[in-house]
Amino acid sequence: MRQWLMGAMAAAFLVALPADAKLKSATMVVDAETGEVLQASNVDTQIYPASLTKMMTLYLLFDDLDSGKIHMSDRIPVSDNAEEQAPSSLGLGSGQTLSVEEAMYGMIVKSANDAAMAAGEFLGGGSETACAERMTRKAHELGMTHTVFRNPNGLPNLEQHTTARDMATLARALMHNHAKEYHYFSTREFTFRGQVIHGHNHLLEWYKGADGLKTGFINASGFNIVTSAKRDDRRLIAVVLGWPTGQSRDHQVAKLLNAGFARNPGSAGVELAELPQQEEADEPAVTTRAVMKAMSKSKAKPKTQVAALRADNSVGDTDDDEEWAVQVGSYGQQAKALQIAQAALIKFGKYGEDGEAKAVLTSKKGSKPTYASRVVGLSKEDAQGACRISKKHHQPCRALNLG
């Protein structure tokens, strides 16, 4: 009887919003590291996110895990409301509990709406509404200005909407701000209460380099996906929203990724997308305008030693007359190395004010050169401060004394 009721509820929820005669669709492909936009179509068209919503629920769980507010083994209570959510589900019953990690697997692999609701209420202090408000605040903090959340699982709500640009921003935020948890998105199956649960993201099974993130569907949205794939040292994010079938959606995202990987980094010639960061008191928000300003600065700034830029008020031994740099990566292509350095320069905030972004040729083995992404022209203190910011976000950084 319970299974029949849940099936009826699923059908009711799926048709609760009127499906458009022609679905709205949107696509976007960006470089995960630099944010370079490689493809874009209808990127600011508002579309129902469906289960892509769970990416933000997971983001908040990762936030609380990293801050120590919660732990993987903590038990999440299942409410009547969570039990009554339409499938997909784990079949949770009111009064039961599941661990934080089980809820994460349930959302990522099964796209379980009951697990997402339980997790959402847990994050919202027992309130679905409080959780949704927190999700929307975080979205806007990350620069997802066209997104509003009304529930933690993506089931139909007329006021819940997002865009391809915002979903790409969220995917990058998950990778950059929660790098140590990102691997969960590549999970294809897990065991829950003795049962092996298989996933919905079939792209992981056949597309070379695919390693996450999330699929979604309700009638009103069509078939959605946000996915990431990595080949060699390059990672791309692709977003496809509003496709008529799951199979056509997967084929479209594979086509877009193939085209993206075929392009040389820096070949798009368009602005870099915002590099999403958690709000930091000593770090300004990174915007497209700011990145472009840094690009202009790095091209026009004369090669001046730091000592010449500052008044010499030192007493005794000091490092003020030494030039320092930070290295944030090495790449086989000069354009990508420069883009990484430019993005890092902005991210460093006050520590990068005297810096200059450069792609420095460090080795050339045969026909394969290696370029280091560096911000040069720094003091020792600024180089160390810049690396503290990078390491806070689990990104590589090495301070170098250039003499």
Q: What is the pLDDT of residues 222-269, one digit of tens each?
A: 999 999 999 988 999 999 999 999 999 999 999 999 999 998 776 654
Beta strands 234-243 and 26-31: pairing type? antiparallel
Average pLDDT, the chain: 82
Tokens linked to 165: 């640009």
Active-site option among 111, 221, 228, 298: 111
Catalytic annotation present for 79: no
The CATH classification of domain 2-262, taken from the options 3.40.50.150, 3.40.50.720, 3.40.710.10, 3.40.1710.10: 3.40.710.10
Nearest in space to 70 (alpha carbons), one of 119, 131, 135: 119
Could you report the per-residue pLDDT of 6-27, keeping only the tens digit for each? 444 444 444 444 444 478 999 9
Domain boundaries, the chain: 2-262, 288-309+321-401
Residue 276 and residue 347: Cα distance in Å, rounded?
A: 10
Cα(75)–Cα(156) distance, rounded to whole angstroms?
Answer: 27
Q: Catalytic: which of 25, 54, 228, 336?
A: 54
Q: Out of 3.90.230.10, 3.30.70.1070, 2.60.40.10, 3.40.190.10, which CATH number does the structure's domain 288-309+321-401 have?
A: 3.30.70.1070
List, in sequence order, every beta strand (DSSP E) within 6-132: 26-31, 37-41, 75-77, 97-99
pLDDT digits (tens, 9 = 90+) for 119-135: 999 999 999 999 999 99
Which residue is catalytic, options 51, 79, 88, 221?
A: 51
Catalytic residue status for 41: no
pLDDT band for 186, please (50, 70, 90 cuts): very high
Q: Is 25 a catalytic residue?
A: no
% pLDDT > 70, the chain: 79
One-letter amino acid identity for 210? A
Which DSSP string do the residues of 274-285 spell out, in sequence order? Answer: P-----BTTBPP
